Structure 1
């Protein structure tokens, strides 16, 4: 397991993360990229704790995602299954599990203040924190995707499910875009990743 983890995590995070996995009896599955989420946790019918994480994530995002999912397991075990998945109990648990990793042994120095700020009140996805998401993106393998806030107005783009849109305006913090096939207007978070077709 340590050899496998070493492919996906920062080097010095492998041993402590392995201890967390063993202590919480996690069955970890690393999967091909899914379109909708970086990872998930569920308690299987057998009572086994199953966590899946996308293998395509860079090592820093992989670490955050794995701790995020372990926090679900720990929060449900400690506070019961009726808590909100991303409620206060989970936030507190995620903070406590993540704090030991917000150090230069695990993350580049320029990410540490962004992580410290994010984990004062962690959200359901680090992707909704535009500054942190953009900083983490620099460690991704090169691809043809852009954040929607980076592309010019009038650009035509495709999202992961294949739908095509045109960026037309900004509304408060989100971007207004028209779906080409239906003419309906949708709002996108600034750091939604899209494939630009024309600009």
Structure 2
């Protein structure tokens, strides 16, 4: 398991992650990319714990996602199955499990202040923290995608499922975009990756 983890997370995080996996009896499954989520935790009827994480994540996002999912398991075991999935108990557990990793031997120094800020009150997904998400994306392999916040108003773009939209306005923190075929309005996070189409 340690050799497998070494391919996906920073080297100095491997021993602690391996211990967490062993101590919590986790069956870790590394899967092909799912667009809607980075990871997932399930407790099977026979009592075994399965965590899946997308293989395509960079090593820093993979580590955060793995600890996020282990925090679900630990919080449910400690506080019971009736807690909110991303409620206070999960937040406290996630913070406690993540603190040992937020150090310069594990994360690049430019990420540390952003992680420290994020983990004061962790969100259900690191993607909803646009600053942290953008900082993490710089460690992804290069691709031809743009972020919504980068493209001009009036631009037409395609998303992962092939639907085409036009960027029209900023509403508080998210961008209002019109689906070209239906005229319906959708809201996008600033750091959603899209394919810009020629106008």
Measured against the shorter chain, the TM-score band is over 0.9
How far off is 1:145 after superposition?
A: 1.8
Q: Distance in 2 between matches of 1:52 and 1:113?
A: 28
Name the structure 1 match of 2:108: 108
Structure 2 portions without partners, runs of 5+: none
SS of the counterpart of 1:167?
strand
Name the structure 2 match of 1:97: 97
How far off is 1:126 after superposition?
A: 0.4
Name the structure 1 match of 2:194: 194
Whether 1:48 and 2:27 are equivalent positions in the alignment is no
The superposition leaves residues 7-46 of structure 1 with CA deviations (integer Å, 9 ceiling, x where unpaired) of 0000101111001000000000000101100000000122
Q: Distance in 2 between matches of 1:19 and 1:7?
A: 17
Q: Distance in 2 between matches of 1:173 and 1:71?
A: 28
Name the structure 2 match of 1:125: 125
The superposition leaves residues 116-136 of structure 1 with CA deviations (integer Å, 9 ceiling, x where unpaired) of 000000000000001100000
Name the structure 1 match of 2:86: 86
Q: Distance in 2 between matches of 1:144 and 1:152?
A: 17
Q: Distance in 2 between matches of 1:178 and 1:198?
A: 17
Name the structure 2 match of 1:39: 39
Whether 1:167 and 2:185 are equivalent positions in the alignment is no
Name the structure 2 match of 1:23: 23
How far off is 1:171 after superposition?
A: 1.4
The superposition leaves residues 71-109 of structure 1 with CA deviations (integer Å, 9 ceiling, x where unpaired) of 000000000000000000000000000001000010001
Instruction: Give me the TM-score of the superposition, normalised by structure 1.
Output: 0.98
SS of the counterpart of 1:109?
coil
Name the structure 1 match of 2:147: 147
How far off is 1:186 after superposition?
A: 1.1
Q: Distance in 1 between matches of 2:180 and 2:129?
A: 28
Q: Distance in 2 between matches of 1:198 and 1:81?
A: 49
How far off is 1:161 after superposition?
A: 2.0
Instruction: Give me the TM-score of the superposition, normalised by structure 2.
Output: 0.98
Name the structure 2 match of 1:59: 59
Q: Distance in 2 between matches of 1:73 and 1:39?
A: 13
Structure 1 portions without partners, runs of 5+: none
